[in-house]
Structure 1
């Protein structure tokens, strides 16, 4: 089957991970992105569209106001159960600006559609739930041709921006990798983050090490609770010998190199659950502390995370520092758990089964 993934960027390498998994299963899978992810993940086809990066979108929101009326947060307090956020233009001027942007894109997109034989694919998946056009023109054209269409939400795309209704309403299936999204819409199909554990070299915990390195890698400080985490680590440093490793503003390759040197990793302290950062740490054999989404413990009773929030992080870190045996056990369990639940090929099989996509003849 010919599958095309469409995404604003290769966010956290999730779209490209799905593409590689589909290729390994015998499908002809491609990814087209609007712009490059600044962390340097692999690209397939990048259109380099102007006026579309996350920095540009943030500037529009600051000038015109946030159309969704929501801010990035690490707490479910910002979530209204049962209320599916929906994107609306922030105002007349912002809407005119977006339409002007789309007119500027149109010649490049038309060339791309023609040269790439865009309409010859069998399944189109919008990773991040964003069409090239806010009126859903691409999705409408896909469905008019009788093709399958799916949407995958990966985080703040749904929480803070909301659905793009003309795209969302035409999808044959809606997927999410975030459990808290089910509070917004219980009909979403939850799948764990697709992950390629084999790309990461596992190392057992070093039980003889005296000064432990504790890592934290915020992509968004507010969402991760970074300032609180750093304050707590300063308290820990007053009573234990530690080195804080802040992994920030690095390429993905550099971030992994830094993460591999850590003995303990802190993902975040909110209640929206873990992300790719945490999976990378587990795959490397680094015991990982994180906040978890409600219901996660019941769904994954064998998980290896040290569950924390702002009130419990200090004691959890002290216990990990003081118990080499605990670190060793979590190092092994973490790798095994990621292999069991996050294998990208199994995630793809689940998504395709939901869509009625037949397995490829490999």
Structure 2
């Protein structure tokens, strides 16, 4: 198979453009991300961090240099999608990767989830109009799970589910100690309202009346710094409102930590049967955390299961074959 030259752009979410590019490069392809979304997380692997103006100046060169355009988060080379007719004219392969808040229709999200916070999503009409513009030219999409799938399935001819990818060589498991007297609980919200931070910390305060543990909330730190802090943690609480799990859950499991997150009841069967996440919503979180504080052996066992789960379902080395298959059939 001849190498494919793959463009990723223009919004880096959870390091995915860089991680997927790295796996594609390992397979002999050329892959590079152009990122116009800059945050304190500071992703830089396989990325050209660029502003819209400089990206515009590079349009011609980009159009000439790449065979396949893998777009992310409902963004393309031009904010108004005026690049899509030209890409189509040149017979370039294209696919759109949606990540959640870019397509989470407010009313639809609430239908199966009494807890969800959709403040970060654009208005329904804006999402709808954007999807119509994109799908006039791009006929297939990728999503990370079936929570996101529902929002876009009626817009595209085909929607592929490709789980969040991570590069496991950066994650050495450090399972919780069963003899630790003061366990450390961690929560790292990129968006506190979306993740349910206020409710999580209310539960933490209640538990502190009966239990001896440390609690750490991590915010506005680079991705590298955060990973170093995770190592000594015993319990990680990710998101308890959304109805699915995110990158924090995946990285935490890779590090061998037990994870609490809310998986919507109607979505549970879509995940592999051995998903080791402790399914926790605002109503049962106190009970779930209490159980883990009472059972250090269970914490360690969940940590081991989490690592195995990520090796099977989230390793970029595993997922890249699925991704290449998607590309070849576009």
Partner of residue 18, structure 1 = 20
Structure 1 residue matching 2:202: 3-state secondary structure: helix
Q: Deviations over 1:130-171 (max 9, x none)?
A: 123243111221111011000001121111232443223311
Partner of residue 99, structure 1 = none
Q: Partners of 2:100 and 2:138 in 1: how far apart? A: 18
Q: Deviations over 1:34-89 (max 9, x none)?
A: 1433211115212223xxxxxxxxxxxxxxxxxxxxxxxxxxxxxxxxxxxxxxxx
Tell me the CA shift for residue 221 of structure 1: 0.8
Q: Partners of 2:135 and 2:217 in 1: how far apart? A: 37
Tell me the CA shift for residue 176 of structure 1: 0.6
Q: Which moved more, 1:255-264 or 1:274-283?
A: 255-264
Report how many aligned residue pairs link the two structures.
299
Q: Partners of 1:272 and 1:152 in 2: how far apart? A: 19
Q: Deviations over 1:227-279 (max 9, x none)?
A: 00000001111100011110111111111122222100000111431100111
Partner of residue 241, structure 1 = 212
Partner of residue 102, structure 2 = 157
Structure-2 change in CA distance of 1:345 and 1:140 (3 Å): farther
Partner of residue 353, structure 1 = 325
Tell me if the contact between 1:36 and 1:48 (Cα under 8 Å) persists in the aligned partners. no
Tell me the CA shift for residue 129 of structure 1: 1.8
Partner of residue 333, structure 1 = 305
Map 1:93-172; keep pairs closer than 5 Å: 105=53, 108-114=54-60, 116-159=61-104, 160-161=121-122, 162=127, 163-172=130-139
Corresponding residue to 2:315 among 340, 343, 346: 343
Provide the aligned C-alpha RMSD in A: 1.8
Partner of residue 248, structure 2 = 277
Tell me the CA shift for residue 183 of structure 1: 2.2
Tell me if the contact between 1:123 and 1:147 (Cα under 8 Å) persists in the aligned partners. yes
Q: Deviations over 1:189-247 (max 9, x none)?
A: 21111111221110122011001110001111110010000000011111000111101
Give the TM-score taking structure 2 as reference length: 0.85
**2:280 corresponds to 1:308:** yes
Corresponding residue to 1:7 among 4, 7, 10: 10
Partner of residue 222, structure 2 = 251
Unaligned runs of 5+ in 2: 105-120
Corresponding residue to 1:36 among 15, 35, 38: 38
Q: Which moved more, 1:287-296 or 1:178-187?
A: 178-187
Q: Partners of 2:329 and 2:264 in 1: how far apart? A: 30
Partner of residue 108, structure 2 = none
Tell me the CA shift for residue 322 of structure 1: 1.0
Q: Deviations over 1:74-130 (max 9, x none)?
A: xxxxxxxxxxxxxxxxxxxxxxxxxxxxxxx3xx4453134x453231110101121
Structure 2 residue matching 1:11: 3-state secondary structure: coil
Q: Which moved more, 1:183-192 or 1:173-182?
A: 183-192
Partner of residue 164, structure 2 = 193
Unaligned runs of 5+ in 1: 50-104
Tell me the CA shift for residue 351 of structure 1: 2.7
Structure-2 change in CA distance of 1:119 and 1:235 (3 Å): same
Q: Partners of 2:214 and 2:168 in 1: how far apart? A: 27
